[in-house]
Structure 1
Amino acid sequence: MFDGQFVFTQLMHFLPRREFNACVERYQGQRRERGFSCRDQFLCLAFAQLTYRESLRDIETCLRALEPKLYHAGFRGQVSRSTLADANRAHDWRIYSDFAQILIRRARRLYASERLAVDLEQTVYALDSTTIDLCLSLFPWAKFRRRKGAVKLHTLLDLRGSIPCFIHISHGKMHDLLVLDQLPIEPGAFYVMDRGYVDFARLHRFTQHSAFFVTRAKRNLDATRRSRRPVDKSLGLRCDQTILLSGPKSSRLYPDPLRRVAFYDVPTQRRFAFLTNNFALPALTIAELYRSRWQVELFFKWIKQHLRIKAFYGTSDNAVKTQVWIAVSVYVLVAIIKKELRLDRSLADILQILSVTLFEKTQLFEALSVKNPPVSEQAFPNQLKLFD
């Protein structure tokens, strides 16, 4: 039977408390609590993400208006703008990064049976980055241009469920392909990325780890054709070749054969050339795999529209990374709730509902489920009929 807890309290019950405490202990987050713990900080910033708060003052004003309810919602520290600012500066962002990874592993298990756009049993990842503009005078560590600051979110997205499983936050000047040095490579998985990641020494790591990549070939690719396979041009395919790199440097960095698939997209009237180290899949599947990379672009658009990652509550490196990782945790938490409660609503709809029901005493499933109340045929039994 429902015990009358707030929606926010029920939501936080989906977070593993023991694992969170282990992350705090790992980075000694309790050493600088001063009456405002890492959990209090997480709850405040999660509330800010779920209710679209714009600033620390906004968070403080709203939470103090709910002060009689905060203890029952899990808050233990006194919420104030200065205390939250100190926590954003002092509490190690890696606490929330490690905790987000725990939630990500849980979400990936829940979405492991989701269907892909292509018929594959292997895991498919899409790799890309997005840039968030910042004021250079307020964020001097985030150098991007001469008079402009920015941070980059380098993201590896599991296309089953659109779950971000790897995120690296850097200043805006970091080149995209450098993140390949930090990328965990899973044997047998497919990694789909655009041609900004074409670096043959780094791509060869995928082959060495028995993983597969799909990317676009650059126009000045220096290669010789070893063999070719027949293709059905009515499907848009133009060629399917096995090639060897011919450049003096590229041939040394990637000595193994590569597969080149050319595809013509009729709606856009554009020709694409793809490179991959997989020789078993049909050529059309390679083209469809690259088309599925668009999901990571949709993910970036979604989080910028529905989460607070374009304006930050602190100006330090630690505060920015803390806010991003808590935003990721909230996104993954909503995805977990959607799956575990078997909700038919979209993630955006769930966030919209949560934003106005967090401190209502309603059962979480009832608040988020699609309700279609029955329409009575005789709504006003005493109403006389005008027409027979």
Structure 2
Amino acid sequence: MINLNLFSQIISKLERTSFKKIVSKKLTDKHQKGYDSWTHLVSMLFCQFAKSQSVRDISNGLRSATGNLNHLGIQRAPSKSTVSYQNKNRDWTIFRDYYYQLLWGLGQQSGFKQRKFRIKSKIFLLDSSTISLCLSLFDWAKYKTHKGAVKMHTLLDYDGNLPAYVNITDGKTADNKGAYDVPLLKGSVIVADRFYNDFSLLNVWDSKGVYFVIRHKDNIKFRTIRENELPENRYENILKDEIIELTGNTSKKKYSKRLRRIAIWNEENQQVIEVITNQMSWTANTVSELYKSRWQIEIFFREIKQLLHIKSFIGTSENAVMIQIWTALITILVLKFLKEISKYGWQLSNLVAFIRLNLFVKIDLQKWLDKPFDEPISRLEIVRQGVLF
């Protein structure tokens, strides 16, 4: 008989030593009285898994698990005022740093992989997503006259569809401006939409040895140096492959090197998509498929907004919002890890829903992940005993 509920077993997957090191470095447990950083993390993860709508839901939900709290590594369920106070005051960066630590740890264990391209470069997808907020409650989140918002500038690792880097700014920050802080890995390729067609930004990437595949704007000024011959067995969606040079006075100063321009026919939307890249040796179809893979980041944004608690917030301070966003990212990482180690073909939406329904059920996590619809062994044994007597 399993004595641990599903939530306790999920929390046990988290590596606590690295979290303690982060807490020790940030001194976030200094002068704390019972509600330490680990209890705070568990509380906010419960908020995400249970989709709690308020601090009262978090407090009452954890209180209902009395007797199992020690398995979560916490002493007692926090009061709603305690959760609210610490969301406002505890340094949110410990959750950000722990996310990156888990990304390296759980990602290595599970071996997240996607369909491989025939290139050795690491693939990253770049985009941003706006999270709307009520300006009257979140007065620090400037966006429009009567609207507030924060923007998640996200660099998504193609393997595993998990953020390798997230920069959270106010809603006013333009996509290209939020991308200047993105860490660059030499030899990697960044795939992005036209909002990142900033030639100063592209010049920085190129100077750092990073390849890019960017959809260019319609008003780009250029001259064709030469047209690359399209092979006879080419894919019909490749319309043009050419080497160009920018001719606009401003753009040429920002990016003086030659670029490769590829025109692609998009059958689904019945339109021509034109992209530019600084990679001259890959086939035009590889570049086309790379840009097509950009849709994965849109799927990621949809997943976190629909499946997790990120569209409404239990605290109104900037610190509370940052904590809730980063614990949502930790949750999506854990969910994808569980999906990866499972033998059952889970859809992420189904996995989230089933965990939410069985959060405090005492059943072996791995067996439940592998065979979620099998009847528990203990129940079968009870039935057999009834037959014998």
CA RMSD of aligned residues (A): 1.9
Identify the residue that residue 386 of structure 1 maps to in structure 2.
Answer: none
In structure 1, the partner of 2:46 is: 47
Partner of 1:150: 149
Native 8 Å contact 2:42 2:72 kept in 1: no
Is contact 2:6-2:365 (8 Å) kept?
yes
1:5, distance to aligned residue in structure 2 (A): 2.1
What pairs up with 1:278-317 in 2 under 5 angstroms? Answer: 278-317=279-318
Q: Which of 327-336 and 364-373 deviates more?
A: 364-373
Residues 4 and 68, structure 2, Cα contact 8 Å, conserved in 1: no
| Counterpart position of 1:269 | 270
| More deviation, 70-79/171-180 | 70-79
TM-score between the two structures when normalised by the length of structure 2: 0.91
Letter in 2 for 1:46: L
Q: Name the counterpart of 1:195.
A: 194
Report the equivalent of 1:18: 17
Q: Which residue of 2 aligns with 1:66?
A: 65
Counterparts of 2:208 and 2:256, CA distance in 1: 15
Partners of 1:345 and 1:234 lie apart in 2 by 34
Is the aligned partner of 1:206 residue 2:222?
no
Deviation per CA, 1:149-193: give whole Å up to 9, x if none: 011111111111111111111111111101221000111111000
Q: Judging changes above 3 Å, is the alpha-carbon distance between structure 1 residues 365 and 108 closer, same or farther for their aligned structure 2 residues?
A: closer
Q: Which moved more, 1:317-326 or 1:346-355?
A: 346-355
Distance 1:65 1:45 in 2: 16
Equivalent position of 1:160 in the other structure: 159
Distance 1:207 1:108, change over 3 A: farther
Classify 1:227/1:255 alpha carbon distance in 2 versus 1 (closer, same or farther; 3 Å).
same
Secondary structure of the residue aligned to 2:165 is: strand
Distance between the aligned counterparts of 1:41 and 1:19, measured in 2?
A: 16
Q: Which residue of 1 aligns with 2:125?
A: 126
Measured in 2, the distance between the counterparts of 1:356 and 1:105 equals: 29
Structure 2 CA distance, aligned partners of 1:92 and 1:162?
Answer: 27
Structure 2 alignment gaps of length 5 or more: 376-389
Change (3 A) 1:111 1:160: farther
Normalised by the length of structure 1, the TM-score is: 0.91
- Provide the C-alpha distance between the structure 1 equivalents of 2:346 and 2:86, rounded to a whole number of angstroms: 35
Runs of 4+ more than 4 Å apart? 110-113, 371-374
3-state SS of 2:29 partner: helix
Deviation at 1:119, TM superposition (A): 3.5
How far apart, in 2, do the equivalents of 1:243 and 1:72 lie? 62
Look up the SS of the partner of 2:179 in the other structure.
helix
The answer to whether the 8 Å contact 1:5/1:362 transfers is yes
- 1:238 matched to which residue of 2? 239
| CA-CA distance at 1:109 after TM superposition | 2.9
Residue 261 of structure 2 corresponds to which residue in structure 1?
Answer: 260
What does the per-residue CA deviation read over 1:200-230, in whole Å, with 9 as the maximum and x for residues that have no partner? 1111112111111001111111111111111
The aligned amino acid for 2:314 is Y
In the alignment, is residue 183 of structure 1 matched against residue 182 of structure 2? Answer: yes
Structure 1: gaps of 5 or more residues: 375-388
Q: Which residue identity does 2:326 align to in structure 1? A: W
Offset of 1:3 from its aligned partner? 5.8
Identity in percent: 32
CA distance change for structure 1 residues 247 and 108 in 2, over 3 Å: closer, same or farther? farther
SS at match of 2:30: helix
Q: 1:205 to 1:87 in 2, by over 3 A?
A: same
Say if 1:55 and 1:311 are closer, same or farther in 2 by CA, change over 3 A: same
Which is further off, 20-29 or 330-339? 330-339
Distance 1:68 1:3, change over 3 A: closer
Q: Which amino acid in structure 2 is aligned with residue 258 of structure 1?
A: L
- 1:55-96 Cα distance to aligned partner (Å, 9 max, x none): 112212222233333233322244111000011011100000
Contact persistence 2:135–2:141 (CA under 8 A)? yes
* Worse overlay, 191-200 or 346-355: 346-355
Superposition map of 1:95-134 within 5 A: 95-110=94-109, 114-116=113-115, 118-134=117-133
Cα distance in structure 2, aligned partners of 1:9 and 1:113: 24
Q: Cα gap change, 1:5/1:67 in structure 2, threshold over 3 Å: closer, same or farther?
A: closer
The code of the aligned residue for 1:369 comes to D
Matched-pair contact (CA < 8 Å) for 2:123–2:158: yes
Q: Which amino acid aligns with 1:97?
A: R
For 2:369, give the aligned amino acid: L
In the TM superposition, residue 360 of structure 1 has moved relative to its aligned partner by 2.2
Amino acid at match of 2:256: P
Change (3 A) 1:352 1:207: same
Change (3 A) 1:343 1:144: same
Contact 2:22 2:98 in 1 (8 A): yes
The aligned counterpart of 2:225 is 226
Whole-angstrom CA distance in 2 between matches of 1:371 and 1:357: 11
Distance 1:111 1:74 in 2: 24
1:307-362 CA-to-partner distances (Å, cap 9, x unmatched) read 00001111111110011101100111122223345553232222222212222221
Cα distance in 2 between the residues matched to 1:330 and 1:113? 16
User: SS of the counterpart of 1:144?
Assistant: coil
- Larger CA deviation: 26-35 vs 94-103: 26-35
